[in-house]
Amino acid sequence: ALTQSQFPVFTIYAQKSCLAVKPCERAWCIDRVQGHRLQGHTKRSMTASSRQHCLELCLGERDFLC
């Protein structure tokens, strides 16, 4: 059995975002981890003017599942 100090620590911070595109049907559309980037999974790279614009580009993508 694990002691309490061995339990993994997960801090969840939720932020509501009002986007101009229809979100997917999943309960949780976007996960963001500060300071990290997925390597080797790029299907398309675009420049976004803001985080919200980036989310809208990703969720509005139709050529592949974002």
33-65 pLDDT per residue, tens:
777 777 887 788 889 999 889 888 888 888 877
In a domain, 13, yes or no: no
Q: Is the pTM of this model over 0.95?
A: no
In a domain, 38, yes or no: no
Task: Give residue 50's domain range.
Answer: 22-32+46-65
In a domain, 55, yes or no: yes
The total domain count for the chain is 1
CA distance 51 to 48: 7
In a domain, 7, yes or no: no
Cβ 24 vs Cβ 62: under 8 Å = no
